[in-house]
Structure 1
Amino acid sequence: MAEQSLGVGESVRLLRVRRGLTLRSLAKVVGVSVGTMSAIENGKVAVTIDRLRQLANALGVDAAALMDVRSEAPVVAADPSLASVGQRWREFGPLDLDPVLEAAVEAFSEVGYHGATMRMIADAADVGIAGIYRHHQGKKQLITAIGEALEVDAAWRVEAAAADFRDDPARAFGAMVEALSLCQIHRLEPALVIETELRRLDELSRERIVALRHAMTRRFEVVAIAATELGQFATSSPAGTARTVVALCRALPLRFGGGSALPGASVAEEYANLALLMMMASKVQQN
């Protein structure tokens, strides 16, 4: 895939993910609200020279770098700096959403896309309706923002899990499956909203989330192929099997959403073990 130049907002998001930073933590360092930082990353507000310098300092790059960050995909290969993250990828607090997006998740979960109104969401978030439209044009844009937040959160966790086993692709793959499964489990409500409402988005908005998902799937494929080349996996189609594994992880909210018994960490471990068995299927048959 040919490289493409990214806008300042996309560059900020890309570098933030590489460093394992949340939207909230970067906003705090720069000295702006989470809503403003979200608007910057989504290209909704202009970035002044002074703000550009603040962002660059917070991300540890030259200001010029934010004008010319290039990438083949929104999610990058494991960054060596992620090694310092350690087991943080297994630790979950609230998803990094502003009050409007939190209210939107609740509304979509309770009454669905058609039942939820912008007024309902504004009241739940305790903001004026104009405050919502300042950053989000409508319900489709809210779903897009929720989906992007989920993917960004999952991206650094999957990459950090891979970095824990940099020299062992098979173990890295298992850890990546566990990380993605944990994300779907701990972010069950917003993940279920995205899985059920993604079809509501227009083509352009849907492509933004799909591009992030495809980039993550490619990471799983690359690691699976590496493990196969080392003789750790025996599947005849490592990339295809990896895609199936990712799809199973993505479907976790559909499996447990609305159920009385919520899944625990053991489910993530179960999925990781299942993924490794799928990758070793040919060896199992041979034995």
Structure 2
Amino acid sequence: MVEQPVTDSGAAVRELRKQAGVTLRGLAAGIGVSVGTMSAIENGKVGLTVDRLREIAQCLDVPVARFLEPPGSANTAPEGDPADWRVFTPLTLDPVLESAIDVFEELGYHGATMRLIAAGADISVAGIYHHYPSKQHLLVALVNIAHADLAQRLDAAGDGVDAVTAFANMVEALTLFHVERRALALVLATELRRLEEPNRTHLQASMAQIEGRLLDTARRAADLGSFRSGDLSVATKAIVTMCMAVPTWTDDADAVQGRRIARQYASLALDMVGFHSGH
């Protein structure tokens, strides 16, 4: 099967290369191409394959999806104190992404059009294409925002406590995210199948990291005799899936209801991994 070129990434390659402090010659040598070819890639004269984009990402030590974000985007990192993982202040998103969440949630990815999203953001269609060349770029940006927020919360929830508490906190944080960021989480839960390569591979790796955080913590607790011994990977995967499904069966929850659901899920998760309460 012939790989299709990945478009609209040349400028991002140049920007991220400069941010990494890598010269054009250094990047060319790192991926085994000539300086002329590397220059053509950055100027959009040579298409990028998925494999080539992965090579560049590895050389610059950045996620593949960074090349598919709008240049200079300020929507890639959550704001606020990441250590306060139970507090969810509104994400600072540009009007286009705010509108995209609304339209994707209401009409789905295929039903959404750039014209509708532009109208919701009170911007011209030409203006929206200047920043986001396609619906795929919008979906990728939303995925990156969600996963950056979630990763910070999971790290903070498991920091500085014993393994059992860390595990329960991380499940609570994962559930809270899907309650408090319900609209965004619902879009992700229903539209992730729309991701194209290399975005799909990046998402799978990101999800594996989330499951890996939880599984590593569960194994530490099992080594201490607090959880059952044996393979905990299936239970961990089931717990993550359970948490991700919350926005598909809940309405917009108030803060009290959200905290209650999250605590209940943390308790259920402990049962699923065989927590020994008398240990």
Q: Does 1:139 align with 2:130?
A: no
> 1:253 maps to what in 2?
247
Residue of 196, 202, 215 corresponding to 2:209: 215
TM-score, normalised by the number of residues in structure 2: 0.69
Residue of 83, 87, 93 corresponding to 2:89: 93
Q: Which amino acid aligns with 2:260?
A: S
Residue of 233, 242, 258 corresponding to 1:239: 233
Q: What is the Cα-based RMSD across aligned positions, in Å?
A: 3.3
Aligned partners of 2:20, 2:61: CA distance in 1, in Å?
A: 17
Q: Does 1:174 align with 2:143?
A: no
- SS of 2:123's partner is coil
Q: Does 1:108 align with 2:104?
A: yes
* Contact 1:158/1:179, CA 8 A, preserved across alignment: yes
Aligned partners of 1:207, 1:173: CA distance in 2, in Å?
A: 26
> 1:46 maps to what in 2?
15
Q: For this pair of structures, how many residues does the alignment match?
A: 219
Note the alpha carbon deviations across 1:79-117, whole angstroms, 9 max, x for none. xxxxxx685111101124221111000111122222221
* Contact 1:222/1:239, CA 8 A, preserved across alignment: no
* Contact 1:235/1:278, CA 8 A, preserved across alignment: no
> 1:279 maps to what in 2?
273
Quick check: which has more Rg, 1 or 2? 2
Aligned partners of 2:258, 2:158: CA distance in 1, in Å?
A: 21
TM-score, normalised by the number of residues in structure 1: 0.67
Q: How far is 1:277 from its partner?
A: 1.2
- SS of 1:43's partner is helix
Q: Which amino acid aligns with 2:118?
A: A
* Contact 2:186/2:248, CA 8 A, preserved across alignment: yes
Aligned partners of 2:130, 2:62: CA distance in 1, in Å?
A: 29
Quickly say closer, same or farther: Cα 1:260–1:121, change in 2 above 3 A. closer
Aligned partners of 2:102, 2:128: CA distance in 1, in Å?
A: 15
Quickly say closer, same or farther: Cα 1:194–1:86, change in 2 above 3 A. closer
Q: Does 1:186 align with 2:180?
A: yes
> 1:267 maps to what in 2?
261
> 2:29 maps to what in 1?
none
* Contact 2:63/2:202, CA 8 A, preserved across alignment: no
Q: How far is 1:178 from its partner?
A: 0.4
> 2:151 maps to what in 1?
155
